[in-house]
Amino acid sequence: MNGNETLSASTPTYTMGYSDEFQKMLDRRNAETNAAHLLPHLTSGLRVLDLGCGPGTISMGLAKTVEPGELHGIDIEESQIEMARAAALAGGHSNAVFQTGDVTDLPYGDDSFDVAHCHALLMHVPDTRAVLAEVKRVLKPGGLISAREMIGASSFSEPALGGLGDAWATFQNLLEANGAHPQMGKELKGVFLEAGFSDIHASGSFETYSTVEDVTFFHTFAGGWFFSPDTVEAATKHGLATREQFEDWRRTMDEWKDAPGAFSAVAWGEATGRKP
Protein backbone atom coordinates (compact mmCIF):
# COMPACT_ATOMS: atom_id res chain seq x y z
CA MET A 1 0.00 0.00 0.00
CA ASN A 2 1.50 3.34 -0.99
CA GLY A 3 -1.04 6.08 -0.54
CA ASN A 4 -3.57 7.04 2.11
CA GLU A 5 -5.84 4.08 1.49
CA THR A 6 -8.36 2.12 3.48
CA LEU A 7 -6.74 -0.01 6.18
CA SER A 8 -9.15 -1.59 8.63
CA ALA A 9 -12.29 -0.90 10.61
CA SER A 10 -10.23 0.47 13.52
CA THR A 11 -8.12 2.85 11.38
CA PRO A 12 -10.33 3.33 8.30
CA THR A 13 -7.97 5.88 6.71
CA TYR A 14 -4.38 6.23 7.88
CA THR A 15 -3.48 9.82 6.96
CA MET A 16 0.30 9.41 6.61
CA GLY A 17 0.20 6.41 4.22
CA TYR A 18 3.28 4.33 3.35
CA SER A 19 5.03 6.39 0.69
CA ASP A 20 8.84 6.45 0.40
CA GLU A 21 8.82 10.08 1.58
CA PHE A 22 7.08 9.22 4.83
CA GLN A 23 9.36 6.21 5.32
CA LYS A 24 12.31 8.62 5.18
CA MET A 25 10.77 10.54 8.09
CA LEU A 26 10.35 7.31 10.10
CA ASP A 27 13.95 6.31 9.25
CA ARG A 28 15.21 9.34 11.23
CA ARG A 29 13.65 8.03 14.45
CA ASN A 30 15.33 6.01 17.17
CA ALA A 31 14.71 5.08 20.80
CA GLU A 32 17.23 7.58 22.21
CA THR A 33 15.49 10.54 20.56
CA ASN A 34 11.90 9.38 20.28
CA ALA A 35 11.49 7.32 23.46
CA ALA A 36 13.77 9.33 25.77
CA HIS A 37 11.01 9.54 28.42
CA LEU A 38 10.69 5.73 28.41
CA LEU A 39 14.32 4.55 28.38
CA PRO A 40 14.96 5.25 32.11
CA HIS A 41 12.15 2.78 32.91
CA LEU A 42 13.61 -0.06 30.83
CA THR A 43 15.92 -2.71 32.25
CA SER A 44 17.33 -5.96 30.99
CA GLY A 45 14.84 -8.83 30.97
CA LEU A 46 11.58 -6.86 30.60
CA ARG A 47 8.93 -7.96 28.09
CA VAL A 48 7.98 -4.92 26.01
CA LEU A 49 5.26 -4.29 23.42
CA ASP A 50 5.66 -1.59 20.71
CA LEU A 51 2.19 -0.76 19.32
CA GLY A 52 2.05 0.58 15.76
CA CYS A 53 5.78 -0.08 15.48
CA GLY A 54 6.02 0.86 11.77
CA PRO A 55 9.43 -0.11 10.29
CA GLY A 56 10.80 -0.64 13.81
CA THR A 57 13.38 2.15 13.92
CA ILE A 58 12.38 2.92 17.54
CA SER A 59 11.76 -0.76 18.39
CA MET A 60 15.43 -1.64 17.72
CA GLY A 61 16.70 0.52 20.59
CA LEU A 62 13.99 -0.82 22.91
CA ALA A 63 14.97 -4.41 22.02
CA LYS A 64 18.65 -3.67 22.71
CA THR A 65 17.84 -2.11 26.08
CA VAL A 66 15.77 -5.05 27.41
CA GLU A 67 17.96 -7.89 26.03
CA PRO A 68 17.58 -10.81 26.78
CA GLY A 69 13.99 -9.75 27.48
CA GLU A 70 11.62 -9.71 24.50
CA LEU A 71 10.48 -6.83 22.34
CA HIS A 72 7.22 -7.51 20.49
CA GLY A 73 6.22 -5.12 17.71
CA ILE A 74 2.78 -5.03 16.10
CA ASP A 75 1.49 -3.04 13.13
CA ILE A 76 -1.56 -3.29 10.90
CA GLU A 77 0.56 -3.02 7.74
CA GLU A 78 2.48 -6.08 6.55
CA SER A 79 5.10 -4.04 4.61
CA GLN A 80 6.06 -2.26 7.86
CA ILE A 81 6.39 -5.54 9.72
CA GLU A 82 8.63 -6.91 6.96
CA MET A 83 10.91 -3.85 7.32
CA ALA A 84 10.99 -4.23 11.11
CA ARG A 85 11.91 -7.93 10.79
CA ALA A 86 14.69 -7.05 8.33
CA ALA A 87 16.02 -4.36 10.68
CA ALA A 88 16.03 -6.81 13.60
CA LEU A 89 17.92 -9.37 11.52
CA ALA A 90 20.46 -6.78 10.32
CA GLY A 91 20.97 -5.47 13.86
CA GLY A 92 21.27 -8.91 15.42
CA HIS A 93 18.26 -8.34 17.70
CA SER A 94 17.12 -11.95 18.04
CA ASN A 95 14.91 -10.92 20.99
CA ALA A 96 12.71 -8.77 18.71
CA VAL A 97 9.54 -10.37 17.32
CA PHE A 98 7.17 -8.62 14.92
CA GLN A 99 3.68 -9.48 13.77
CA THR A 100 0.85 -7.96 11.78
CA GLY A 101 -2.23 -7.11 13.82
CA ASP A 102 -4.68 -4.49 15.04
CA VAL A 103 -4.03 -2.56 18.23
CA THR A 104 -7.75 -2.59 19.07
CA ASP A 105 -7.72 -6.41 19.12
CA LEU A 106 -4.30 -7.50 20.36
CA PRO A 107 -3.24 -11.13 19.74
CA TYR A 108 -1.59 -11.47 23.17
CA GLY A 109 -2.72 -12.99 26.44
CA ASP A 110 -3.89 -11.09 29.52
CA ASP A 111 -1.21 -9.79 31.92
CA SER A 112 1.64 -10.68 29.55
CA PHE A 113 3.80 -7.51 29.18
CA ASP A 114 5.84 -5.41 31.62
CA VAL A 115 5.73 -2.37 29.32
CA ALA A 116 3.50 -1.28 26.42
CA HIS A 117 4.74 1.69 24.39
CA CYS A 118 3.54 3.55 21.32
CA HIS A 119 4.89 6.45 19.27
CA ALA A 120 2.62 8.34 16.85
CA LEU A 121 -0.05 5.64 17.05
CA LEU A 122 -2.85 6.84 19.36
CA MET A 123 -3.08 10.02 17.30
CA HIS A 124 -4.06 7.91 14.27
CA VAL A 125 -6.53 5.37 15.70
CA PRO A 126 -10.05 6.82 16.03
CA ASP A 127 -11.11 4.73 19.05
CA THR A 128 -8.58 5.67 21.77
CA ARG A 129 -10.57 3.86 24.46
CA ALA A 130 -10.46 0.58 22.54
CA VAL A 131 -6.65 0.72 22.24
CA LEU A 132 -6.14 1.62 25.90
CA ALA A 133 -8.53 -1.12 27.06
CA GLU A 134 -6.45 -3.64 25.11
CA VAL A 135 -3.19 -2.23 26.50
CA LYS A 136 -4.60 -2.52 30.02
CA ARG A 137 -5.63 -6.10 29.39
CA VAL A 138 -2.21 -7.27 28.13
CA LEU A 139 -0.14 -5.39 30.74
CA LYS A 140 0.80 -7.19 33.93
CA PRO A 141 -0.52 -5.61 37.15
CA GLY A 142 1.88 -2.73 37.87
CA GLY A 143 2.98 -2.73 34.21
CA LEU A 144 3.93 0.53 32.47
CA ILE A 145 2.04 2.22 29.64
CA SER A 146 4.01 4.79 27.62
CA ALA A 147 3.12 7.00 24.66
CA ARG A 148 4.54 9.90 22.65
CA GLU A 149 2.08 11.66 20.35
CA MET A 150 1.99 14.86 18.31
CA ILE A 151 0.56 18.20 19.49
CA GLY A 152 -0.42 19.70 16.14
CA ALA A 153 -1.52 23.08 17.51
CA SER A 154 1.95 23.71 19.01
CA SER A 155 3.89 22.75 15.87
CA PHE A 156 5.06 25.51 13.53
CA SER A 157 7.30 26.81 10.77
CA GLU A 158 9.07 30.16 11.22
CA PRO A 159 9.16 32.66 9.65
CA ALA A 160 5.39 32.13 9.23
CA LEU A 161 5.44 33.38 5.64
CA GLY A 162 2.00 33.96 4.08
CA GLY A 163 -0.20 30.91 4.46
CA LEU A 164 2.24 28.54 6.18
CA GLY A 165 0.11 28.61 9.34
CA ASP A 166 -2.90 27.67 7.19
CA ALA A 167 -0.92 24.76 5.73
CA TRP A 168 -0.20 23.44 9.25
CA ALA A 169 -3.91 23.88 10.14
CA THR A 170 -4.93 21.98 7.00
CA PHE A 171 -2.66 19.07 7.99
CA GLN A 172 -4.41 18.92 11.36
CA ASN A 173 -7.85 19.25 9.76
CA LEU A 174 -7.03 16.36 7.45
CA LEU A 175 -6.07 14.18 10.41
CA GLU A 176 -9.37 15.06 12.09
CA ALA A 177 -11.34 14.38 8.91
CA ASN A 178 -9.81 10.88 8.95
CA GLY A 179 -10.97 10.31 12.53
CA ALA A 180 -7.49 10.91 13.97
CA HIS A 181 -6.48 13.07 16.98
CA PRO A 182 -3.97 15.78 15.99
CA GLN A 183 -3.72 17.10 19.59
CA MET A 184 -3.35 13.68 21.27
CA GLY A 185 0.05 14.62 22.74
CA LYS A 186 -1.53 17.03 25.20
CA GLU A 187 -4.48 14.74 25.95
CA LEU A 188 -2.43 11.74 27.08
CA LYS A 189 -2.68 12.40 30.82
CA GLY A 190 -6.47 12.70 30.55
CA VAL A 191 -7.04 9.63 28.39
CA PHE A 192 -4.70 7.48 30.54
CA LEU A 193 -6.62 8.55 33.68
CA GLU A 194 -9.96 7.88 32.01
CA ALA A 195 -8.76 4.40 30.98
CA GLY A 196 -7.94 3.59 34.62
CA PHE A 197 -4.15 3.96 34.67
CA SER A 198 -2.49 5.54 37.71
CA ASP A 199 0.83 7.19 38.66
CA ILE A 200 0.78 9.24 35.46
CA HIS A 201 3.71 11.41 34.42
CA ALA A 202 3.19 13.72 31.42
CA SER A 203 5.81 15.84 29.66
CA GLY A 204 6.49 17.53 26.33
CA SER A 205 9.30 17.99 23.80
CA PHE A 206 10.04 19.45 20.37
CA GLU A 207 11.47 17.80 17.28
CA THR A 208 13.32 20.69 15.63
CA TYR A 209 14.56 21.47 12.13
CA SER A 210 17.15 24.26 12.29
CA THR A 211 20.40 23.25 10.57
CA VAL A 212 20.70 23.66 6.80
CA GLU A 213 20.51 19.85 6.45
CA ASP A 214 17.39 19.57 8.62
CA VAL A 215 15.62 22.51 6.96
CA THR A 216 16.39 20.94 3.57
CA PHE A 217 15.05 17.59 4.80
CA PHE A 218 11.84 19.19 6.12
CA HIS A 219 11.32 21.08 2.84
CA THR A 220 11.87 17.91 0.79
CA PHE A 221 9.57 15.95 3.12
CA ALA A 222 6.81 18.56 2.78
CA GLY A 223 7.25 18.49 -1.00
CA GLY A 224 7.07 14.71 -1.18
CA TRP A 225 4.32 14.16 1.38
CA PHE A 226 2.13 17.21 2.13
CA PHE A 227 2.23 18.37 -1.50
CA SER A 228 1.95 14.88 -2.98
CA PRO A 229 -1.03 14.11 -5.23
CA ASP A 230 -2.44 11.72 -2.57
CA THR A 231 -2.47 14.32 0.21
CA VAL A 232 -3.73 17.14 -2.02
CA GLU A 233 -6.48 14.84 -3.30
CA ALA A 234 -7.51 13.81 0.23
CA ALA A 235 -7.59 17.39 1.55
CA THR A 236 -9.50 18.78 -1.41
CA LYS A 237 -11.95 15.86 -1.33
CA HIS A 238 -12.77 16.80 2.28
CA GLY A 239 -13.13 20.46 1.26
CA LEU A 240 -10.26 21.50 3.57
CA ALA A 241 -8.31 23.50 0.98
CA THR A 242 -8.21 24.17 -2.74
CA ARG A 243 -5.53 23.02 -5.19
CA GLU A 244 -4.68 26.69 -5.71
CA GLN A 245 -3.97 27.08 -1.99
CA PHE A 246 -1.68 24.04 -2.09
CA GLU A 247 0.19 25.60 -5.04
CA ASP A 248 0.56 28.90 -3.12
CA TRP A 249 1.81 27.05 -0.03
CA ARG A 250 4.29 25.08 -2.11
CA ARG A 251 5.79 28.32 -3.46
CA THR A 252 5.86 29.78 0.06
CA MET A 253 7.57 26.67 1.37
CA ASP A 254 10.32 27.17 -1.28
CA GLU A 255 10.80 30.74 0.00
CA TRP A 256 10.81 29.46 3.60
CA LYS A 257 13.65 27.02 2.87
CA ASP A 258 15.89 29.91 1.73
CA ALA A 259 14.93 32.28 4.59
CA PRO A 260 17.89 32.87 6.96
CA GLY A 261 15.64 32.22 9.99
CA ALA A 262 14.01 29.05 8.63
CA PHE A 263 13.05 26.90 11.61
CA SER A 264 10.34 24.24 12.01
CA ALA A 265 9.29 22.31 15.06
CA VAL A 266 6.92 19.41 15.70
CA ALA A 267 5.58 19.39 19.24
CA TRP A 268 5.15 16.09 21.08
CA GLY A 269 3.54 15.12 24.37
CA GLU A 270 4.74 12.09 26.30
CA ALA A 271 3.20 10.21 29.20
CA THR A 272 3.71 7.10 31.28
CA GLY A 273 1.29 5.43 33.67
CA ARG A 274 0.80 2.20 35.60
CA LYS A 275 -1.83 -0.52 35.44
CA PRO A 276 -3.09 -0.72 39.03
Ligand X SMILES: C[S@@+](CC[C@H](N)C(=O)[O-])C[C@H]1O[C@@H](n2cnc3c(N)ncnc32)[C@H](O)[C@@H]1O
- Which residues are at the interface with ligand X (CB under 6 A)? 8, 10-11, 14, 16, 26, 29, 52-54, 57-58, 75-77, 80, 102-104, 119-121, 124-125
Nearer to ligand X by Cβ, of 86 and 259: the residue is: 86
Residue closer to ligand X, measured from CB, 56 or 163: 56
CB nearer ligand X, residue 114 or residue 134: 134
- Residue 43 contacts by C-beta under 8 Å, 6 or more apart in sequence? 65, 66
| Beta carbon of residue 16, minimum distance to ligand X (angstroms, whole number) | 5
CB of 44 to ligand X, least distance (A): 23
Cβ neighbors of 192 (< 8 A, separation 6 or more) are 132, 145, 147, 200, 271, 273
Q: How far is the CB of 179 from ligand X (least distance, A)?
A: 11
Residue sitting closest to ligand X (CB): 54
| Closest approach of ligand X to the CB of residue 65, in Å | 16
CB of 174 to ligand X, least distance (A): 14
Measured from the CB atom, the residue of 75 and 114 that comes closer to ligand X is 75
Determine the residue type at 116. Answer: A
Q: Residue 80 burial (CB < 10 Å; 0-12/13-18/19+)? A: buried
- Write down the least CB distance from residue 134 to ligand X, Å: 10
Of 13 and 252, which has the nearer Cβ to ligand X?
Answer: 13
Given the complex with ligand X, which of 11 and 170 has the nearer CB atom?
11
* C-beta of 19 vs 80, nearer to ligand X: 80
Q: Tell me how far, at minimum, the Cβ of 131 lies from ligand X, in Å.
A: 8
